[in-house]
Structure 1
Amino acid sequence: MYLNALGRGDRPFFFLSDFHATRWFICPLDSLKDWKVRAELQLETGPLSLGGAPASPGQPRNAPEAPGIRITSKTPLDFRQYSRGFEIVQDHLRRGNSFLVNLTYPTPITLSGASRPLDALVRQSGAPCRLTVGDLRISSRSFSVFSPERFVTIRGNRISSFPMKGTRRIPGPGADPQITDPDTLRCSALGSLMTSPKEQAEHRTVVDLIRNDLGISAHRVWVDSYRFSQVIRTGDSELVTTSSRICGALEEGWSARAGDILTSQLPAGSVSGAPKAKTLEIIRAAELDDRGFYCGVAGVWLPPDRGAGRRSGPGGGLAPAEGEGTGPSLESWVLIRYIEQVGDAYAFRSGGGITIYSDVWEEYRELVDKIAIPVS
């Protein structure tokens, strides 16, 4: 496997996989400039720019290249059509074929502010994974990603996964005349998210799935942090989300098996469901088209001199946690918050996890709420 071969060498490389892990783009970093790929990645050790010039000195990495890049209109899937897909999923859940299914759909949008808005948005967004991909001969569509969700990180001999499951829109000022303090509004949204039986079940199912996935390659697996929250700011709203960190211990020399380890985790559990194989069949039946690279993964492998515990760019390095040590490292993200382009048309793909407790209207609203560019 090519990923394994690269992992045995000392050339850092970039990788990109579609949702089903059937189409891959793998390229040494020093050759990436020859392809239509541009990325701004916030590694655990600092920022890394790929495929294009980094931000100029003194320019924030989330500074817009053109003012006012924004989504000016969106045309979500008709609610009745969404309900049909939702009912297909619910039928399988009731029969016990799955416990959790991630249901997603594309939404046509219009963008304003630049002739090449996707390139400009890579700078404008503050998401930790910002990626623009042009024609790679493995995809008929150009796309950009502004992902807040880490997938798998390996530092030293520790592998970690960070499934993000559970989202609430934070009401804006005036939504509740009795609550005007922004922090109180955030706490109210977080409280609703944390106490929801549906969200609790969804998150618990994903954590169990990821524990099993990590156990394929790791000889010891544990949950390091369970359901921690973060606020994602978009241009005109805020979302609160919950994630967990699940860790495992790898054997020495894992880098020679980097490809096997990575592919054993795919498709990503947080954007598929459990049990994974049957759930993928349900997704094919319920969704309108193939996801392509949406919900796939992208990341980098770095050799020891640029890997764990070492500084990879301005902004300083982080001391490795106990058990992480030094050596080669791998960092990756799930390709969510995703805009694709076909000709002059754009579509934003979004969705969420469906359980037996799900309410069709709340799930539809979550799909619509996620159609926004993360600023920070």
Structure 2
Amino acid sequence: MIDYAQKNVYAKALSLLDEDVLYAFETPLCSSKKLTCKAVTCKKTYPSPEVYFQKFDAVMEEIKAGNTYMLNLTAQTKVEVSFDLKSLFYAAHAPFKLYFKDQFVAFSPERFVKIQANQIHTYPMKGTIDASVPNAEAVILGDEKEKAEHVMVVDLLRNDLSMVAKEVRVEKFRYIEKVHTSDKTLLQVSSHIQGTLDEQWHERIGDILSTLLPAGSISGTPKRSSVEIIERIEGYDRGFYTGIFGIYDGTMLDSAVLIRFLEKTDEGYVFKSGGGITVLSEAKKEYDEVCDKVYFPVF
């Protein structure tokens, strides 16, 4: 597990993994505690719209100045919940899940990279819409802002992979995935990018990850200047949120982005969420997306 700033790392042999660290990669889990959507109550105190709009405007000024073209702006939502983090880990329906020492739980829909048979794969996810919107799939795929944002992330990830792999190509572009929450269904847009590694990739896993981090979908492009802008504008420490976690078994590596993130702090529980900002973005829509992503995928 590597945090967003690449300053903190947790690494353990799977056989020696701490008992209070739980993970699941595309594996259904069952809990003895029957936590369902009926048992989930949550009071959300969303970020101040005025404060978010000020940060949005600051990002737009950076875009107009040519310092970034797409930037992932995140915020914190205070929540009061009726459940504990471990119960949520077991009950949440998500491709990639992590519970860490009663400090946070993540139920991520987004893979970072997967390496298998000398092939490296990444699946950038950009674009979210409530499935209840009439013709939601056509709306999200036809939205020019969402399309531009997704194209920029795909181009960034394609360039990132080109630094560690050969024969990099986009295998599938802008396809729809469903994400179910306790009170709604969301549609998210993903792409699949693939490249070829040499057979010695096992010996340089650390170099590969450090070259690709932070993930393009949660930073921006150009990456270096976007990261500097994020640090200056967001006003809080992301910590492990938007970092990555993964497993390596000697033959393959799989990893996911630490998003959909609920953290226990001294002041209570905080849910961290965000979205990509481009020159075509509208402040109210971006704020609504940040709020829509504060959910718990429990049926």
Regarding TM over 0.5, the answer is yes
CA distance in 2, matches of 1:64, 1:163: 34
Matching residue of 1:7: none
For the residue of structure 2 that corresponds to 1:288, the secondary structure is coil
Query: Which structure 2 residues correspond to residues 51-200 of structure 1 after superposition, within 5 A?
Result: 61=29, 65-67=33-35, 68-112=38-82, 114=83, 117-134=84-101, 142-171=103-132, 185=134, 188-200=135-147
Query: Match of 1:150, as an amino acid?
Result: R
Does residue 346 of structure 1 match 2:293?
no
Aligned counterpart in structure 2 of residue 332 of structure 1, from 248, 251, 255: 255
Q: Deviations over 1:215-236 (max 9, x none)?
A: 1110220000101111100001
Equivalent position amino acid for 1:19 in 2: Y
Q: Which residue of 2 aligns with 1:290?
A: 237
Query: How many angstroms does 1:69 deviate by?
Result: 4.5
Decide whether the 8 Å contact of 1:99 with 1:355 is kept in 2.
Answer: yes
Mean Cα displacement is larger for which, 126-135 or 219-228? Answer: 126-135
Aligned to 1:314: none
Residues 264-275 of structure 1: pairs in structure 2 closer than 5 A:
264-275=211-222
Q: What does 1:183-332 align with in structure 2 at a 5 Å threshold? A: 185=134, 188-303=135-250, 328-332=251-255
Cα contact 1:19–1:297 (8 A) shared by 2 = yes
Do 1:156 and 1:329's aligned partners in 2 also have CA atoms closer than 8 Å? yes
Partner of 1:30: 15
Work out the CA distance in 1 between the residues paired with 2:11 and 2:192.
26
C-alpha contact 1:40 1:122 (8 A) present in aligned 2: no
What root-mean-square deviation, in Å, do the aligned CA atoms of Structure 1 and Structure 2 show?
1.5
Superposition deviation, residue 170 in structure 1 = 2.0
Q: How far apart, in 1, do the equivalents of 2:286 and 2:174 lie?
A: 20
SS in 1 for 2:183: coil
SS at match of 1:39: strand
Q: Within the alignment, does 1:368 sit opposite 2:295 as a pair?
A: no
| Cα pair 1:71 1:109 within 8 Å, conserved | no
Q: For 2:226 and 2:115, how far apart are their aligned partners in 1?
A: 27
Query: Is the CA contact 2:106–2:261 (under 8 Å) kept in the aligned structure 1?
Result: yes
- Could you say what secondary structure the match of 1:25 adopts? coil
Structure 1 residue identity aligned to 2:123: F
**Aligned mates of 1:69, 1:20 — CA distance in 2:** 36
SS in 1 for 2:126: strand
**In 2: Cα distance, 1:340 partner to 1:158 partner:** 34
Note the C-alpha offset of 1:343: 3.9
1:159–1:249 contact (8 Å) kept in structure 2: yes
Number of residues paired by the alignment? 297
Q: Counterpart of 1:166 in structure 2: which amino acid? A: G
C-alpha displacement of 1:31: 0.6
Structure 1 240/62 Cα, relative in aligned 2: closer, same or farther at 3 Å? farther
- Which moves more between the two structures, 341-350 or 124-133? 341-350
1:68-89 CA deviation, whole Å, 9 max, x = no partner?
Answer: 4424210111110000100110
- Contact 2:31–2:87 (8 Å) recurs in 1: no
Deviations 1:97-141 (A, max 9, x none): 1110000011000111x4xx1100111111011111127xxxxxx
Question: Equivalent residues in 2 for 1:43-54 (5 A)?
Answer: 47=27
| TM-score normalised by structure 2 residue count | 0.96
Deviations 1:304-333 (A, max 9, x none): xxxxxxxxxxxxxxxxxxxxxxxx100000
CA contact (8 A) 1:62 1:126 kept: no
